[in-house]
Each structure stands twice: as structure tokens, then as C-alpha cells.
Amino acid sequence: MEEFINVGKRIPKMDAEEKVTGKAIYIHDLKIPGMLHGKILYSPHPHAKIKSIDTSKAEKLPGVKAVLTGYNIPPIKFGFYKDNTPLKANKVCSLRDEVAAVAATDLDIAEEALDLIKVEYEILPGVFDPEEAMKEGAPLIHEEHVGGKEKKPTNVLNLPWRLIAGDVEEARKNSAFVAEDRFKVTWVTHCCMGTSGCVAQFDLKNNLTVYSITQIPSLEQRDFTEALAAMGLKGKKARVIKTMIGGGFGSKLDTYAFEYIAILLAFKTRKPVKIVFSREEEFFATSPRQPAIIDIAQGCTKEGILTFRDIRMILDNGAYTSWGATTPSVMMMPISSLYKVPNVRYIAKCVYTNNTYSQAMRGYGNPQATFAIDSQMDILAEMAGIDPLDFRLRNANTPGEVTPQNFKIVSCGLRECIDAVAQKLDWRQSRGKRDGRGVGMASLIHVGGGARVYKSDGCGTIIKIDDFGTVNVFTGATDMGQGSDTVIAQIVAEELGVRVEDVVVTHTDTDICPWDVGAHASRTTFVAGNSARGAAKKVKEQLLEIAAKSISESPENLDIRDRTIYSKKDPEKKSPLGKVLRAAHYAAGGSMVMGEYFYDPNNENLDREFKGNLSVTYAYGTHGVEVEVDKETGQVKILRYVAAHDVGKAINPMLLEGQVYGGATQGIGYALTERLILQNGKVMNPNFLDYKMLTAKDVPNFETIVVETNDEFGPFGAKGIGEPGLVPTAPAIANAIYDAVGVRIKDLPITPEKVLGALKEKAK
């Protein structure tokens, strides 16, 4: 096998020192001369008509530079369904609805000004349950929204999520065992360490710069350009510059009201305007993971071979539409392709309510669907009298398979993952005792080679090398803490035969960096990695070409290793990289070494039937847990946690483990403790005291198993790992609890109350 110098090494994140010493500049730290502070007034009612707004007192407060409402801003619409506006006029539909905004010379004044704005409301009846909202006569969230064949006013969105493969009804008839259950998952939120924020600024020509912490710089630039047009500034430019990002997890895959508000305030005041969320705002005014009601049926033969999977889902869309409403497109992936299942039907409805609206969050629907699927795998295995381990092995995916959704499986280490987990947990010995201790497992499939959700799934890279061999990489990718800069540096260094410390990665500015579709779908290592590698290859060709003359050797016989270009035939013939570069640059008619590459993976958009090879390759994994359940209190303790992942190739095993630890920790929170508690649309726990994100003390000792299948399309064989770490966590824990005490909890989080309640029910 090839011997790598930079790839496969445990290299600490390039920005680690800066971050842990507090030197890194986050949006919160950013100050621009003359900068004003913006603050947003939210609706106190989940559903109400705005009768009047009086901002006169606020405007008179010394230090206040602008007050905006839904009545004095241009008609900007945003969100992919275009049902949201920066500030609401006429009507508010949720408690996070922005009603007015203030820019002032300091934050205290801005806050004081909010208190001086008088808004009169006429309260309307609200609807907070999607099943209620679907009924005839339910309050309408957007009266003008129509749907169905008759184009009648409705709360049901016109998003016909529907995947059908094979014949589910026929398969059901021919199944020896059929399980039918209802699962429920609720809102959880990203809990980014850094709260949301931005600074917007116009130059004298009305070109816009937004300092941002987005995961989608290029798409954000497009959204802001559209907003400029709506503001009457057609043809003006939008530039997005990222500061250090304090965590993303999907929360920054869309543009939000606060960003448009900052832009509008900056335009009105002609000054830079900064809006940064308080922690409370971060909890109630950002978009959590999509909740769902999941009705699922699966069947199998006597021998335990899956026959069909039939799922209906209702998604609480909330009052507006962001990417949460499109999570069914990713839920289709595990539904059609986790384990081999020949007949599949999936129908999902998104319904407007007066609740908060949802967004992408690590896994993008996959954790919700996998909770239902892989919990029920255990239920079905028990009905068929088969050990859940054997049941999974019998139905495991294999390389070369084409799934019912037309996914072409390339590398697939699922079987290895299942086996590894079973072995680590001593499965056959540990399982089935019902003595308060139990083991459980669950698996995952996720896109591992990009995901063509837009027309392009591409990423560009530009590389230049200076006279001393410093390599500057300008990538479209976004490092939001996951460490993509480091991984890209490793890939480039490997390709160019230099060291990681020779590589400087810049990803921060749309005026400098090439286009990229965004940091989503666990695609960055795969797509940006392949792109960076492509650019590095081009640069290398140039270098060898130039060196060929001075070393007098043909380029094919040259290579670079540890900053030296040498002849593979005669290693004595060599020259330091810097020397070659200087010679090229300073010679008369000299040249600089630069290269660019745009990589767009060879994957497909889903077609009208939602089929197609969404990703070039797919990632697999299995998590196994051993738990102990206190039968008197219902408390669940995790004794062991094993996470096996087929990652293709670990470019940086340390960062990879970091992704798995972080993912699984978020997953345990999802399974056991975390939930945004909404009562009549109000987030009752907008703080870390009552939102039970887990702490360092709660984290079990994760045993990570890396299965390397060396994918033929991945950069050095790598596949994505950003999201998979939390996808199978909740069902693995639910299954372990069942094994420990014989109760099956079908709604998240699995609180001690639910466990104890179920134990009591069972004892009756």
C-alpha cells in the first residue's frame, strides 16, 4: 500500500491554539468603526393581527438611529418556499415573528428602545398540533396559501413527498410477520457555542458586505443579491466574509430574518450594523430539528428477510418554511436503503402550525427516520424469533447493490461494522437477560460522496505557491469547527509533497474564494477534498514541468517529497521546491505557479419519483450500547458505547473521532435528555439550565472502530463522517433499554418518567 506522509495522521486542528486561547475572532468579537447595534422586537403572541405599531417614542430615544417595522421595509421574501419576510406586517404567526427592529449606538439603548415600541394586537386562535392543523376549520396560518386539487386554503404545504418502489401491499400480504408502530420525535436544537449574528455594511456605491457565520457562503451571497434587488439595488454586489464560526450543525444552511434586518438597518443608517443573538434568542428564534409523527410498518419472511417498509409521516412545519420541510428527501435514504428492503412506500406531509419552524440539523431527517426504522427492526426480529444481530446481518447492505431508490452502493462496510460492535459488546453473552442491564444496536446509511440537492454539488479550489514554497489554498468549503481546513491542508500537502504547516487554507471570503454549494450533507471532505486534490495535481504538473528543465529529467520521472523535487530514477538529481519556484518567478518572462479546479461529483438529482443516485458513494455505520436501567427511578445509565463507522479512509483519525464523539454525544442527548419544550408555541426552556444538553460529565467512554473500505471515488479513499455519528444513537439506546427491562419507548427523548411509566404499565 501507498505510504502517506500527511494523510491518515492525527494532526491537531490548525486553528486549535487560537480557539482555546481566546484569540480567534468570532462574530461576537468583531467591531467596525461607527458600528451600530441592532435588536429585534418579537411578537408576544403566537397568532395575532397587528392592529397598530407606534415607534415614535423609540425613535426619539437618544442614541437610536433607525426603527424599522414590517410597514416601512421593501418586500423581501426568503426561505425556499418564500413564505417569510424580515419583519411582519398585518399578522404574526409565531412567537419568533419579528415585528420591529432598532439600530442604536449601543446595545442597552437598543434594548431600551424596544421597550418603547407600542404594538396593538388582536389575538387569533392558534394551532399547535399538526394533526389538528390538517383538520377542516383549523385556524389558517397563511390565509393566502392554497393547496390540493381544488386549490383550497390549507395548512398543508404543496410538497408532495412520495417515494414508491415495488408493491408494498402485495409484499405485506406475503409477509410472515408485520410490525406496525407509531413513533414520535420532537424539537431539539443545535446549541452552537457561538450564538447567531452578523454585521452588515454598505459602501458608498451601495455594494453590500456581510460579515457572517454561514455554512453556505455562495448561496447566501445569492440570497443577499436577490434582497438587494428587492431593495431597489439591482446590480449591486453582495460580498460574504466569514469570521470564525462557533458551530454550525446545519443551523446556518439558510438565511434568516435577522440577517435581512441587519442589512435593512445598515442601508437605512448608512452605518455598519451588528446583530448578535442572546442565548435566549438562540433558543427560541433559531430553527430546531424537524419534529415528526411517524407511522411505520415493516414486514419479513419466516426466515427474517425484510419484505417491505411502509411509512407515513406528518411534519410540524411551524409557521414558515426553511429546509426542515425538505428533510423527507433525506429521510427517503434510510427508508429505501438502510438494510435491503425490496418494497418501499413513503408519504410525508408538512403542515403549517403556530410553532417555531425547523431547519437542517446534523443528519437532516436521517436521525428521525432511523429511530423509527431501527427501533422497529428489533420489534420485528422479536416477532420472528430472531436475534436482532442476526436479523440485521441477514438484511445488511452489500457493495455493488442498487437500492430501491436507485442508489448505487460502491463501498459498503456495514457487515463489518455490525460484526465489530457485536464482538466488542460480547453480544451473545450480554443480550436477553432482562436483568436491568441490556445491549442494543442500530445502523445507518448516509450520503458519503456529496449529495446533489441543488443543480450543482460542486466546490472550487484555487492554489498558489509563493517563492518559498508556502501553499495558499482558496477553497469554497466552510470550516465551522469540524476541521475541514486541516483536512484540506493534509490532502494538498500529500499531493504536493510538502508538509501540512506549509499550507494555508483560506475559506472566508466570497470575493476571493471559489463557489461551493455549502457545508452540508457530510460532503466537505469528499467534495472539497477531491476539489483541492484536483487543484494540487494541476499545480504539481506545473512544478514538475518547470523543474524538468533545471534538473534535466523528464517530468514523468519527477516527484515531490518533503519539499524537494527529485528524480524517481536517480534520487541524486533533485532540487528544493523553493529554489525551483524562485527560478521560475524571477526569470525574465517568468511565471507564477497557480492552479484551479472545480470538482462536481458524478451524482444525480432525485427525479420526479424521488429516485436517482443522490451521492457518489454512501457511508455506513453501527452503534452499540450497553445500558443499565434503574427499575425504581427509570433512569438510564450508559455503561458502554461502541461506534463503528465505514469512513472509506480516515484522512485524520483524530478529527474523525472528534466527529464521532460529538455526534454520538448529541445523539445521546437526542435519545435521553434534549428537547425544546413548546407550550402553545412558546419555548419554555430557552436556556441551558432547562434545555438538557449533556455535559462533559455525562459523556461515556466512546469506543470508536474505524472501518476503512477505501472508496474508489473518495479523496485518498475517504467518505463523509460529519453527520453519521448521531444517526443510529437513539434507536441503539432504545433497543438496549428494551433488552434491559422489556419496555419499548417510541417517543423521544426517553426520559426516566417515560421508562418508569412504561414499567408500571407493564407490571399491571
By CB under 8 A, is residue 688 in contact with another protein?
yes
Torsion, Cα of 74, 79, 83, 86 (10° steps): -40
Q: Taking the complex as a whole, how short is the minimal distance between the CB of residue 689 and another protein, in angstroms?
A: 7
Q: Taking the complex as a whole, how short is the minimal distance between the CB of residue 295 and another protein, in angstroms?
A: 27
Task: Give the position of cell 436475534.
Answer: 387
Hey, what amino acid is at 218?
A: S
By CB under 8 A, is residue 630 in contact with another protein?
yes
Among 16, 637, 742, 762, binds another protein (CB under 8 A): 637
Among 684, 712, 742, 762, binds another protein (CB under 8 A): 684
By CB under 8 A, is residue 181 in contact with another protein?
no
Q: Which is closer to another protein, CB of 115 or CB of 501? A: 115
Q: Taking the complex as a whole, how short is the minimal distance between the CB of residue 612 and another protein, in angstroms?
A: 42
By CB under 8 A, is residue 206 in contact with another protein?
no
Instruction: Identify which range of 50-58, 236-244, 254-262, 632-640 contacts another protein by CB under 8 A.
Output: 632-640
Q: Which is closer to another protein, CB of 288 or CB of 534? A: 288
Among 132, 180, 690, 712, binds another protein (CB under 8 A): 690
Q: Beta-strand (E) ranges in 98-176?
A: 98-104, 118-123, 146-147, 152-153, 161-165
Whole-number Å distance between alpha carbons of 708 and 720: 12
Q: Please report, as residue ranges, which positions from 498 to 537 form the binding site for another protein (by CB under 8 A).
A: none
Q: Taking the complex as a whole, how short is the minimal distance between the CB of residue 749 and another protein, in angstroms?
A: 9
By CB under 8 A, is residue 69 in contact with another protein?
no
Hey, what amino acid is at 96?
A: R
Q: Taking the complex as a whole, how short is the minimal distance between the CB of residue 635 and another protein, in angstroms?
A: 7
Task: Give CA 395 to chain center in angstroms.
Answer: 28
Q: Which is closer to another protein, CB of 331 or CB of 627? A: 627
By CB under 8 A, is residue 105 in contact with another protein?
no
Q: Taking the complex as a whole, how short is the minimal distance between the CB of residue 641 and another protein, in angstroms?
A: 15
Strands, sheet with 503-506, edge to edge from the N-terminal-most edge strand: 503-506, 471-475, 459-465, 593-599
Nearest to 528 by CA among 454, 457, 464, 472: 457
The contact pattern for another protein, residues 697-726, with x = CB under 8 A and - = no contact, is xx----------------------------
The CA distances from residue 265 to 105, 199, 203, 224, 272, in Å, are 12, 10, 14, 14, 8
Instruction: Identify which range of 59-67, 178-186, 290-298, 695-703 contacts another protein by CB under 8 A.
Output: 695-703
By CB under 8 A, is residue 454 in contact with another protein?
no
By CB under 8 A, is residue 677 in contact with another protein?
yes
Instruction: Identify which range of 125-133, 424-432, 528-536, 626-634 contacts another protein by CB under 8 A.
Output: 626-634
By CB under 8 A, is residue 696 in contact with another protein?
yes
Q: Taking the complex as a whole, how short is the minimal distance between the CB of residue 409 and another protein, in angstroms?
A: 39
Whole-number Å distance between alpha carbons of 132 and 147: 17
Task: Give the position of cell 431597489.
Answer: 232
Report the relative pairing of strands 36-42 and 273-276 from DSSP bridges: parallel
Residues 6 or more apart in contact with residue 137 via CB below 8 angstroms: none
Q: Which is closer to another protein, CB of 120 or CB of 690? A: 690
By CB under 8 A, is residue 467 in contact with another protein?
no
Q: Which is closer to another protein, CB of 21 or CB of 695? A: 695
Q: Which is closer to another protein, CB of 602 or CB of 633? A: 633
Helix 529-551 to helix 577-586 angle (10° resolution) is 80
Q: Is 429 exposed, middle or buried (0-12, 13-18, 19+ CB in 10 A)?
A: exposed
Q: Which is closer to another protein, CB of 260 or CB of 661? A: 661
Among 21, 52, 695, 701, binds another protein (CB under 8 A): 695
User: Per-residue b/e over 445-481, b at no fewer than 16 CB within 10 Å?
Assistant: bbbbbbbbbeeebbbbbbbbbeeebebebbbbbbbbb
Task: Give the position of cell 423609540.
Answer: 58
By CB under 8 A, is residue 632 in contact with another protein?
yes
User: Per-residue b/e over 328-340, b at no fewer than 16 CB within 10 Å?
Assistant: bbbbbbbbbbbbe
By CB under 8 A, is residue 751 in contact with another protein?
yes
Q: Taking the complex as a whole, how short is the minimal distance between the CB of residue 629 and another protein, in angstroms?
A: 10
Instruction: Identify which range of 48-56, 148-156, 580-588, 679-687 contacts another protein by CB under 8 A.
Output: 679-687
By CB under 8 A, is residue 673 in contact with another protein?
yes
Q: Taking the complex as a whole, how short is the minimal distance between the CB of residue 258 and another protein, in angstroms?
A: 21
Q: Taking the complex as a whole, how short is the minimal distance between the CB of residue 108 and another protein, in angstroms?
A: 7
Name the β-bridge partners of 316: 351
Q: Which is closer to another protein, CB of 283 or CB of 364? A: 283
Q: Taking the complex as a whole, how short is the minimal distance between the CB of residue 246 and another protein, in angstroms?
A: 19
**Does the bond joining 752 to the residue before it have cis omega, within 30 degrees of 0?**
no
Whole-number Å distance between alpha carbons of 755 and 226: 50
Q: Beta-strand (E) ranges in 668-760?
A: 678-679, 682-683, 702-707
Cβ contact 678:741 at 8 Å = no
Nearest to 5 by CA among 710, 400, 496, 470: 496
Q: Which is closer to another protein, CB of 300 or CB of 743? A: 743
By CB under 8 A, is residue 633 in contact with another protein?
yes
Cβ contact 86:257 at 8 Å = yes
Task: Give the position of cell 417614542.
Answer: 57
Among 167, 270, 694, 747, binds another protein (CB under 8 A): 694
Instruction: Identify which range of 128-136, 248-256, 555-563, 629-637 contacts another protein by CB under 8 A.
Output: 629-637
Q: Beta-strand (E) ranges in 186-286?
A: 197-202, 208-212, 238-242, 273-276
Q: Is 560 exposed, middle or buried (0-12, 13-18, 19+ CB in 10 A)?
A: buried
Q: Taking the complex as a whole, how short is the minimal distance between the CB of residue 730 and another protein, in angstroms?
A: 16
Q: Please report, as residue ranges, which positions from 116 to 145 form the binding site for another protein (by CB under 8 A).
A: none
Among 390, 401, 628, 747, binds another protein (CB under 8 A): 628
Residue 664 host element (H or E) = helix 653-668
Q: Please report, as residue ranges, which positions from 354 to 383 form the binding site for another protein (by CB under 8 A).
A: none
Report the relative pairing of strands 636-646 and 702-707 from DSSP bridges: parallel
- Segments in 231-295 forming alpha helices (H): 257-269, 279-284
By CB under 8 A, is residue 680 in contact with another protein?
no
The CA radius of gyration of the chain, in Å to the nearest whole number, is 27
Whole-number Å distance between alpha carbons of 243 and 520: 18
Number of residues that bind another protein (CB under 8 A): 25
Q: Which is closer to another protein, CB of 204 or CB of 696? A: 696
Q: Which is closer to another protein, CB of 91 or CB of 675? A: 675
By CB under 8 A, is residue 193 in contact with another protein?
no
Q: Which is closer to another protein, CB of 635 or CB of 710? A: 635
Hey, what amino acid is at 607?
A: D
Among 108, 122, 435, 562, binds another protein (CB under 8 A): 108
Among 225, 472, 550, 635, binds another protein (CB under 8 A): 635
Q: Which is closer to another protein, CB of 180 or CB of 753? A: 753
Q: Taking the complex as a whole, how short is the minimal distance between the CB of residue 22 and another protein, in angstroms?
A: 16
Instruction: Identify which range of 123-131, 346-354, 468-476, 691-699 contacts another protein by CB under 8 A.
Output: 691-699
Task: Give the position of cell 408555541.
Answer: 681
Task: Give the position of cell 445521546.
Answer: 668
Residues contributing to the site for another protein (CB under 8 A): 108, 628, 630, 632-633, 635, 637, 673, 677, 679, 684-685, 688-690, 692, 694-698, 751-753, 756
